[in-house]
Structure 1
């Protein structure tokens, strides 16, 4: 069989890329290893009658242009906004984050901090607005060719430079700080009270195996404010039907545009001839030919498992081997007989629709990181719990609920030669007990659970070291350097082989941006007759 483009991996970025390519008239085939498309953005029944988003679990970063271009609402996607952004149980108190609430809540702990919040929001929004535009643009790439190859990259650099020049001097200084400082240093410079710093500092460590005082973690905080829900900037929401509803809508768009989607079809090898990708061989031995191959996989899975080292430059092979992954994530889904009742806010309310963050201070988060490095997991872990059934009653039987637990920090590899297969349930019990301390009776309400250690996330979804971002969001692995400097424009050293996954710009999260950007570059090469 011959097609124009083969997309390896049916995650949401692979589906996005395929949809754009098919809209341009190309014949596209998507090959997915699992029996369902969506990668980590899937919804499954994990206990009889209870469904939930298995891995990724909340919506904000999905790019509005991708939503429009793929007509996802027409294909069934509906996103509802949380009624409150976050709820932090504290020792004898609580802290609510949400529209119209945050400033008054902050004033209970520090009037000075409350007065500073509007300036903080304005200055962060100024940067986010500019960077939001760069999310769906290809970074300038380091090229070794002549002037003809360099001109497009110089133009990109000039365009990006113009966008950044719109920032005033204050914003430029803030941008430098956010790319280089720790989240802790950034927030300490703004605020004096622990609750507001913890609420915003959590975004600096979520999916990031680091202390909030690790340099570079301020960018991770910034990465999480790019999003919007239904046109409302900075909002977070829930996809009705779970995250699989996003992938399902994308797959429906792909099929309508003529994309062939094959599940239960793992790829064993990317075929090359004279340094050019020409197709793939599946795990069953089937050979499929194509003009171009696009990988939605983690970069190391592509270049270390599917592409022979002989067609890759030696330095590139070495750099890919050094590519760092590991987000310290332990993921759980639980079926509940009833809503949890938190000691500091026991009655049901809007706070049950938000992110419930058990991490009262940045010092708590720092101890969790230090603990995990020594022991393999935090004895007092960070837990963010969402209860999506408060917004979507299709996920659980009437009167029952489902909860997502996003837990940190855990080491990708345990010290002492221990295996996650042996420790999974012990750590899961600890996570349940951590919630129980703040919501007595929670453990007794758990009817069933699904537990995913870093090893499970790797085996199930191809997230190397359990990294939900497909690689750390550190300065040396961002923008033009993601995954490697010189291969930051979705092309690779192998002609006709492209990448479209979260291991490319702009990184992790359910955004669709890498798929969108990769498709643009592939179509540019088609027009130039390079493939």
Structure 2
């Protein structure tokens, strides 16, 4: 039986990042993916092929917008462009079409250009937005460094302090208390305090809501403040689809002697005397390695693949008590005849370059949250629309287009005995109807769609209870508390079993930081060369 230096369970992007760094350090790496297509929630599949549409449509089935990974240096360190990865800039990064009048706010990578756009719709917030970006940008230079290291209290304070020393004080003299209060506030309050225009409040709050926590949760202020980092990295989409990122990582691993196998669901992690020695698939195949890295959900890893028999009762309970939440949203991935022509900006040349924020007001979103809290799907969902075929003709041919519409807030667990398999199409139609309300030309323009309810997301990606962030992103499950303090360093109570998924610090999104950090811990523990975050 062949033995490897490291086996990575799951080919999501974090697991592949870990595998890339280990392979680059001459580890014999094996990645085992349960599905037939690699990439986890960062993959692209061809759908809707027919006589009329022989080429089909390239549909992302998980994440689509790549932002945070471009703030890390990972892509450059791994030289992924050598392996076919090519990015297309999304600029403006996002746009907010005014719901009841003419006008659109474009959020460009360039701040001055953004301010010019704000001035046309919400002139009262031009200086407010400049101040907002300056305040949070200074803070987040240090936070980003903290995201790229193991999350001990000392490491986090050290990285933030070094950043402030290098880039200037976080707060001006006499403003420390007020500044700290913003950080500890909810992002709903941060947005409400920062802006006057209802349009600006809705736009910034809706984008912040993509992180998961509700707007009134404490110590989430920086979910709104992270918008400052958009003006540094911008947003990008891989040419050919989101999955081209993970395909490039696969190619990089293979170029360094590693193996990536699909259709190999790992059922059990093999343990003897408290130490891993391999894995077994659901078909009984066994593979040996002294180091095992799980990119699966922390509860799936510890409660199923490891099992109660290898954990103390108190540890098994702690893992079971991790707050996974009750879903977050759902998405429809549509093949359409044409692009939306928004009533607010019918001739705008830029609105389809990035994300389109379809949330009329903060109150509108609060109403959707109210439905969610009662375990009902929202009567009127907030929608985030993406039309990548505008900037990447490879994903749709013959003059057709793709339209992805992510919506919130949709509970996984439903009231009154409802089941997602019974209502998924009805709720999908509500989402599409929001698009039509903003862009009436989209009536009857749907060719086909791929629906992902919270239950579908769980089934497709192993994201328990439909939470795309793995576990809740509230402060008590961030940094050294994620997923629990005992496993926050990417290590587990089982010797040489590591975690690398978004269940770990710093959390979800196309970031790669968890995979990067896990690799650093493994390399350090084995006295191998470390790659430093640039």
Instruction: Name the counterpart of 2:224.
Output: 221
Residue 505 of structure 1 aligns to a residue in which SS?
coil
Map 1:52-451 → 2, pairs under 5 A = 52-63=59-70, 64-89=72-97, 90-99=99-108, 100-140=112-152, 156=155, 159-160=158-159, 162-163=161-162, 166=165, 167-170=169-172, 173=177, 176-208=180-212, 210=214, 212-223=215-226, 225-226=228-229, 233-326=232-325, 327-347=327-347, 349-374=349-374, 376-451=376-451
Q: CA deviation at 1:161?
A: 5.8
Residue 126 of structure 1 aligns to a residue in which SS?
helix
Deviations 1:189-243 (A, max 9, x none): 2211111111111122115252x2333442333456546xxxx614112111111
Residue 136 of structure 2 aligns to a residue in which SS?
helix
Q: 1:98 to 1:224 in 2, by over 3 A?
A: closer
Residue 441 of structure 1 aligns to a residue in which SS?
helix
Residue 406 of structure 1 aligns to a residue in which SS?
strand
For structure 1, list consecutive stretches of 5 or more residues without a partner in the other structure. 142-153
Q: 1:276 to 1:179 in 2, by over 3 A?
A: farther
Residue 328 of structure 2 aligns to a residue in which SS?
coil
Q: CA deviation at 1:108?
A: 4.3
Q: Is the 8 A contact 2:104 2:344 kept in 1?
A: no
Deviations 1:444-500 (A, max 9, x none): 111010000011111111111111111111111111111001211100111110001
Q: Is the 8 A contact 2:32 2:262 kept in 1?
A: yes
Q: 1:408 to 1:109 in 2, by over 3 A?
A: same
Q: Is the 8 A contact 1:46 1:449 kept in 2?
A: no
Distance 2:83 2:456 in 1: 31
Q: CA deviation at 1:101?
A: 4.2
Deviations 1:168-208 (A, max 9, x none): 33486576345421112112222111111111111221152
Question: Which deviates more, 63-72 or 34-43?
Answer: 63-72
Distance 2:90 2:160 in 1: 36
Q: Is the 8 A contact 2:95 2:355 kept in 1?
A: yes
Q: Is the 8 A contact 1:179 1:475 kept in 2?
A: no
Residue 294 of structure 1 aligns to a residue in which SS?
strand
Q: Is the 8 A contact 2:136 2:222 kept in 1?
A: no
Instruction: Name the counterpart of 1:473.
Output: 473
Matched, 1:10 2:11: yes
Distance 1:485 1:374 in 2: 31
Residue 526 of structure 2 aligns to a residue in which SS?
helix
Distance 1:196 1:222 in 2: 14
Q: CA deviation at 1:116?
A: 2.2
Residue 394 of structure 1 aligns to a residue in which SS?
helix
Instruction: Name the counterpart of 1:149.
Output: none
Residues matched between the structures, number: 511
Residue 486 of structure 1 aligns to a residue in which SS?
helix
Question: Which deviates more, 108-117 or 364-373?
Answer: 108-117
Instruction: Name the counterpart of 2:53.
Output: none
Q: CA deviation at 1:118?
A: 1.6
Q: CA deviation at 1:324?
A: 1.7
Distance 1:317 1:222 in 2: 36
Residue 342 of structure 2 aligns to a residue in which SS?
coil
- RMSD of aligned C-alpha atoms? 2.1
Q: CA deviation at 1:348?
A: 5.1
Instruction: Name the counterpart of 1:516.
Output: 516
Q: CA deviation at 1:53?
A: 1.3
Distance 2:157 2:268 in 1: 39
For structure 2, list consecutive stretches of 5 or more residues without a partner in the other structure. 50-55, 529-534
Q: Is the 8 A contact 1:183 1:221 kept in 2?
A: yes
Instruction: Name the counterpart of 1:495.
Output: 495
Instruction: Name the counterpart of 1:148.
Output: none
Q: 1:110 to 1:383 in 2, by over 3 A?
A: closer
Q: CA deviation at 1:36?
A: 1.3
Question: Which deviates more, 80-89 or 188-197?
Answer: 80-89
